[in-house]
Amino acid sequence: MNAPVKTPEERKADLQGMGDSRLRKEDARFIQGKGQYCDDIKLPGMLHMDIVRSPVAHGRIKRINKEEALAIPGVHAVLTADDLKPLNLHWMPTLAGDVAAVLADEKVHFQMQEVAIVIADDRYIAADAIEAVEVEYEELPVVIDPYAALEPDAPVLREDLQGKTEGAHGPRDHHNHIFTWEAGDRTAADAAFDHAPVKVSQHMHYPRVHPCPLETCGCVASFDPIKGELTTWMTSQAPHVVRTVVSMLSGVPESKVRIISPDIGGGFGNKVGIYPGYVCAIVASIVLGRPVKWSEDRVENISSTAFARDYHMDGHLAATEDGKILGLKVDVIADHGAFDACADPTKFPAGLFHICSGSYDIPAAHCSVKGVYTNKAPGGVAYRCSFRVTEAVYLIERMVDVLAQKLNMDKAEIRRKNFIQKEQFPYTSAFGFEYDSGDYHTALEKVLDAVDYKALRVEQEQKRADPNCPTLMGIGLVTFTEVVGAGPSKTCDILGVGMFDSCEIRIHPTGSAIARMGTITQGQGHQTTYAQIIASELGIPSEVIQVEEGDTSTAPYGLGTYGSRSTPVAGAAIAMAARKIHAKAKKIAAHLLEVSEADLDWEVDRFKVRGNDEQFKTMADIAFAAYQQPPEGLEPGLEAVHYYDPPNFTYPFGIYLCVVDIDKGTGESSIRRFYALDDCGTRINPMIIDGQIHGGLTEGFAVAMGQQMPFDEQGNLLGNTLMDYFLPTAVETPTWETDYTVTPSPHHPIGAKGVAESPHVGSIPTFTSAVVDAFAHLGVTHIDMPHTSYRIWKKLKEEGVQL
Amino acid sequence: MAKQIVKMTLNGQQIEQLVDSRTLLVHFLREQMSLTGAHIGCETSHCGACTVDIDGESVKACTHLAVQCDGSDVKTVEGLAEAGALHAVQEAFYEEHGLQCGFCTPGMLMRSYRFLQENPNPTEDEIRLGLSGNLCRCTGYQNIVKAVQSAAIKLQQKESATA
């Protein structure tokens, strides 16, 4: 009996293409303990590296004694900056145009800085040996506060830069000054403020936090002295860029350097940079001719690898009396720590912070960001966000709330009044960004209806009027716009390499396929979703499409996965590569069906002769023919490569609402409701989108409600284990409600904008908005994060709130 | 370093191994036995990525010595599937999208496996508390909770089918 003929809809469903909540291809190995993470890799003859770190935050190294460590059986080498100097590897360039010490050269600049490495037979011996390396320090005055760092008589932190008045991003006017970066039009903004009837200002600190992925950083470096080849498995979100840097630093030709990002246990921006540990393991492997593994522990990860944020911001809004914003001014002091090691596109030392005009039509705006050195670990990476976009969104959303309070306006109303209108897209902001698409009003009303916003405000009024109510109720509302998908190579590069991304697709004779990209998944599910794009474009079931990333010897060059760039950039490359194959497939189909291409229609998985459903060739038929009998003049095979240079960024947006109840006696807060509407344009896999949003909201909850990296006056980090650094458990984590609208990006081949970071970016100011709202009737306009119970309790006391 | 002979049942197999007395169980499993499912996330018992099952209890292998397992019955994520069939918790984590980067997953699975024996019919709050020794940075727990609920139903159905 013949199988029943399937309808186009049924065939489409079989493909599990775009829009399908397809289960994840990567899960089978993870649920059986068969993932392969960096620390799982074991090579014959492999040695282990551990790092001697500085206990002081600022000091001169007087003496290092390796003898006792070298005497321990099983120790192969102890290396310091003096050993790296002949190779010129004691310092390395950062992605931000500065240099960073690989191993401390005469001076340490932050607590836990790398001072020496030990290579030993196993990790236990290496750990013993680092204790046996004696280092004598002469302590120097420590600078923790970036404002104090800019005082005329502040200690000189970077002696290596002394007298250097020009930095990578313009003039330096102080020995601890890195750069001052401006965007917008200061004159226009000043003029707007001069004539405005209403002005508000607010100072806020976005605390230093750490992305803290569950897997720490590490690598296995393996140099083959006979072939002269270096292979390194590395926890890297950007393996191709690492290959380029390693080649530049080591002198090994790039063709003989192979970087492999295996399974990665979360990145969140922490695994973009190049750390001394990687460089040292590579050097050790080259020197010893044996594989060397380095696995960081948690304390090292939090203390020394890239932090995020640490922005001290002063925001100013000018407005009319009825709440129309006329101007925005922002001044930021950015604490970059000891070395400027931010991972931003070269031209943007403050990332894309100038998205800080948000979702609002603000005619005049200016911002200025001043980067400063302090005795803290370097970093300043984008923790689950596009470059500094989290800081920008926090700033503008807080400022709009502050203005609403000043004018006694509702926070939804003031947003409605200032939104960029649907008809204004593409919209050019006062900072020069061209927002691709958006429909903020529709999304806002959808959320307000879903939560019955009016009823919530009535309930809040009643509770405020009731002196016996044990809680303060707060409603947070945020209407954010992100800028992601970096980016167009005319403005975005890293170390001179344009921020394009890539895809190579090969269709095999039997109609299955392999695709490789320049990105690397760290939990986003690329092996699942990328296949869905190809399935929809080419009519091949996603089940038979293999997706591979992360191996620089097989994947095309790409800039990696961070800043929500995978779908906007690599996703576009996938669609474009698939379309090249589609075009060739059409020629083959026309040849096979003996008609002209103009007589063919594409339907789900096949080319049909127009008007004749019986005459068709499926993509599987065409694939075989491509290897068997391609038409004359056409190359055999069916594959394509595409390097996609995006014409613009994408601008996902969202409307988040949070209801918090604060216990008047204890300061404990309870997130009663959190409603998150996201618009990421075209949706590829709704199940994965929801999962990404849940995760991002939870990370946002962590940042807003508990994460911080406090330092004492001596520069000791007071909380570098998971005992102290807040990672929420299932108990504290709220239950999330998600919703969506779909406003495709007009310039993206499939209309997708990227999603995984929106929930982090959008939720953080929503929590703050809710906590401040609980105190708003007392005249409170802002409370700095983190909103821990203790800090809220102190605020309750300060405001005289009685139980 | 003093070495000792340790005998244990590991994923149903009797083994006898010579180990340094200071070797942590997680290193013994990962490096000596090549069972790399249990992961090291914190080394302070906070994250639970190294959770294994020892004599009917969930144990964090990063703060447990291998020699303490002498005579014990140890199960790791690699021993969860039996006769080629995934365990109900493994199926449920897959079906409910209870994992992303996969790093916490072996620990989450081993804790869920034990938790559902301690409490076969849990409420959502009980699941959240029962898994509070295991951290996840990716999922926000919502789908993990759903997965444990789904696994509970699967196990109950299996129970009633064999009863």
In this structure, the strands spanning A493-494 and A497-498 are: antiparallel
Strands (E), A462-512: 471-481, 493-494, 497-498, 501-507
**Which one of B13, B44, B79 terminates a domain?**
B79
At A629, the pLDDT band (50, 70, 90 cuts) reads confident
Q: CB of B155 within 8 Å of any CB in chain A?
A: no
* Shortest Cα distance, chain B CAs vs residue A688, angstroms: 8
pLDDT for A335 beyond 70: yes
| Cβ atoms of residues A316 and A193 within 8 Å | yes
Q: What is the dihedral of CA A538, A544, A550, A556, to 10 degrees?
A: -40
Question: pLDDT (tens digit, 9 = 90+) per residue, A136-148?
Answer: 999 999 999 999 9
| Domain-embedded: residue B145 | yes
Provide the 3-class DSSP secondary structure of residue A263. strand
ipTM over 0.90: yes
Token pair for B32: 């000596």
* B31 shares a domain with B58: yes
**Distance (Å) from the C-alpha of residue B125 to the closest C-alpha of chain A?**
8
For residue A548, count CB atoms less than 10 angstroms from its CB and return exposed for 0-12, middle for 13-18, buried for 19 or more: middle
3-state secondary structure of A254: helix
Summarize the confidence of residues A522-543 as an average pLDDT.
97
Mean pLDDT confidence for A677-704: 98
- Per-residue pLDDT averaged across B55-75, rounded? 98
Collapsing DSSP states into helix, strand and coil, what is residue A1?
coil
Tell me which chain B residues have a C-beta less than 8 angstroms from the C-beta of A38. Answer: none
Q: Is residue B51 part of a domain?
A: yes
Name the residue in chain B with its Cα closest to that of A728. B135
B44: nearest CB among A33, A34, A722:
A722
For a pLDDT cut of 90, what percent of chain A falls above it? Answer: 97
Interchain contact B13–A (C-beta under 8 A)? no
Name the closest residue on chain B to residue A266, using Cα atoms: B101
- B68 and B126 inside one domain: no
Q: Is the residue at B126 inside a domain?
A: yes
Phi/psi for A119 (5° steps) reads: -115, 125
pLDDT confidence bin for B163, thresholds 50/70/90: confident
pLDDT at res. B162: 84
- Whether chain A has a CB inside 8 Å of the CB on B38: the answer is yes
Q: What is the pLDDT of residue A490?
A: 93
- Active site (annotated) includes residue A342: no
Q: Which of A33, A213, A729 lies nearest to residue B37, judging by beta carbons? A: A33
Does any CB of chain A come closer than 8 Å to the CB of residue B22?
Answer: yes
Residues with Cβ within 8 Å of A613's Cβ and at least 6 positions away in sequence, in order, are none
Q: List the single residue in B with minimal CA-CA distance to A384.
A: B138
Contact (CB<8Å) B99/A30: yes
How many CA atoms, within 13 angstroms, populate the side-chain half-sphere of residue A369? 23
Q: Do B77 and A33 touch (CB under 8 A)?
A: yes
Q: Is residue B163 part of a domain?
A: no
What whole-number distance in Å separates Cα of residue A188 and Cα of residue A194? Answer: 10
Please state the rounded mean pLDDT for residues A650-670: 98
Residue with tokens 């030993």: A120
Residue B68 is given by DSSP the state: G
Using the predicted structure, report yes or no on whether residue A479 has a pLDDT greater than 60. yes
Cα A670 to Cα A732: distance, rounded to the nearest angstrom = 9
| pLDDT at position A49 | 98
Residue ranges making up the domain that contains B150: 88-158
Cβ-count burial of A254 within 10 angstroms (0-12 exposed, 13-18 middle, 19+ buried)?
middle
- Distance set, CA A579 to CA A432, A504, A592 (Å): 32, 12, 20
Catalytic site residue from A342, A356, A385, A492: A385
The whole-number average pLDDT for the span A714-728 is 96
Give me the count of residues in chain A: 803
Q: Has residue B102 been placed in a domain?
A: yes
Q: SS3 of A430, please? A: coil
Give the gyration radius of chain A's Cα atoms: 28
- Tell me if chain A has a CB within 8 Å of the CB of B72: no
Query: Does B105 lie in the same domain as B39?
Result: no
Interface test with B, best of A31, A40, A48, A268 (most B CBs within 10 A): A31
Q: Which of A243, A309, A384, A791 is catalytic?
A: A384
Q: What pLDDT sits at residue A802?
A: 87
What tokens were used for A703? 């940042």
Q: Is residue B74 domain-shared with residue B94, that is, in the same domain? A: no
DSSP state of A275: -
Do B75 and B113 reside in the same domain of the chain?
no
pLDDT of residue A1: 53
Per-residue pLDDT of A238-296, as tens digits, reads 999 999 999 998 889 999 999 999 999 999 999 999 999 999 999 999 999 999 999 99
CB–CB contact A31 B99 (8 Å) = yes
Contact A326, A87 (CB under 8 A): no
Question: How many domains are there within chain B?
Answer: 2
Whether the predicted pLDDT of A709 surpasses 60: yes
Compute the mean pLDDT over every residue in chain A, rounded to the nearest whole number.
97
Tally Cβ neighbours within 10 Å of residue A115. Answer: 24
* Residue A663 pLDDT exceeds 90: yes
Domain holding B146: CATH number? 1.10.150.120
Instruction: Domains for chain A: give ranges and CATH numbers.
Output: 8-35+501-644 (3.30.365.10), 45-140+216-264+271-304 (3.90.1170.50), 307-486+649-798 (3.30.365.10)
Which token pair is A689? 């989108």
Please, which residues 257-286 of chain A have a Cβ atom closer than 8 Å to chain B?
263-266, 268
Give which of B97, B36, B113 is closest to A33, Cα–Cα. B36
Query: Are B69 and B105 found together in one domain?
Result: no
> A287 at the B interface (CB within 8 A)?
no
Please give the Cα distance from A246 to A259 (Å, whole number): 9
In a shared domain, residues B92 and B133: yes
User: CB–CB of B137 and A268 under 8 A?
Assistant: yes
Mean pLDDT computed over A71-88: 97
Determine the pLDDT at residue A725: 97
Model confidence band, residue B82 (pLDDT cutoffs 50, 70, 90): very high
Once rounded to an integer, what is the mean pLDDT over residues A690-696? 98
**B115 falls within a domain:** yes
- Across chain B, mean pLDDT equals 97
Most A-contacting residue of B82, B100, B110, B112 (CB-CB within 10 A), to test interface:
B100
pLDDT digits (tens, 9 = 90+) for A19-63: 999 999 999 999 999 999 999 999 999 999 999 999 999 999 999
The verdict on B28 and B75 lying in the same domain is yes
Give the residue ranges of DSSP H helices in B2-134. Answer: 25-27, 88-95, 105-118, 124-130
Average pLDDT over residues A419-432: 98
pLDDT value of position B131? 98
Please list every residue in chain B whose beta carbon sits closer than 8 Å to the beta carbon of residue A32.
37, 77-78, 80-81, 86, 90
Judge if B102 and B119 occupy the same domain.
Answer: yes
The predicted pLDDT at position A640 comes to 98
Same domain, B22 and B54: yes
Q: Note whether A611 contacts B: Cβ–Cβ < 8 A.
A: no
Measured between CB atoms, which of B49, B133, B143 is closest to A694?
Answer: B143
Residue B105 maps to a domain: yes
User: Span A333-338, mean pLDDT?
Assistant: 98
| Cα–Cα distance measured from residue A762 to residue A651, given in angstroms and rounded to the nearest whole number | 13
Contact A723 B46 (CB under 8 A): yes
Query: What value does the mean pLDDT take over residues A746-752?
Result: 97
Whether residue B139 and residue A695 make contact (CB cut-off 8 A), yes or no, is yes
Residues B75 and B41 in one domain: yes
Residue B84, pLDDT score? 87
Residue B34 domain-assigned (yes or no): yes
Give the domain-ending residue among B52, B79, B106.
B79
Does residue A9 surpass a pLDDT of 80? yes
Six-digit token pair at A639?
């594959």
Ramachandran bin of A791, using left for φ above 0, alpha for ψ from -120 to 50, beta for the remaining angles: alpha
* pLDDT at B1 > cutoff 70: no
The answer to whether A384 is a known catalytic residue is yes
Residue A33 to residue B76, Cβ atoms within 8 A: yes
Average pLDDT for A648-671: 98
CATH number for B28: 3.10.20.30
Q: What is the mean pLDDT of residues A72-88?
A: 97
Amino acid A530 reads Y
Q: Are residues B113 and B61 in the same domain?
A: no
Give the per-residue pLDDT at A4: 81
Q: Among residues B79, B113, B139, which one ends one of the domains?
A: B79
Work out the angle at residue B63's Cα, subtended by the Cα atoms of residues A44 and B129, and round it to the nearest 5 degrees: 120
Give residue A245's pLDDT.
92
- Determine the average pLDDT of the residues in A467-491: 96
pLDDT band at A2 (very low <50, low <70, confident <90, very high): low
pLDDT at A803: 81
Q: Please list every residue in chain A whose beta carbon sits closer than 8 Å to the beta carbon of residue B129.
A: 730-731
Q: How many CB atoms lie within 10 A of CB A234?
A: 30
How does DSSP classify residue B30?
I
Taking residues A125-133, report their average pLDDT. 98
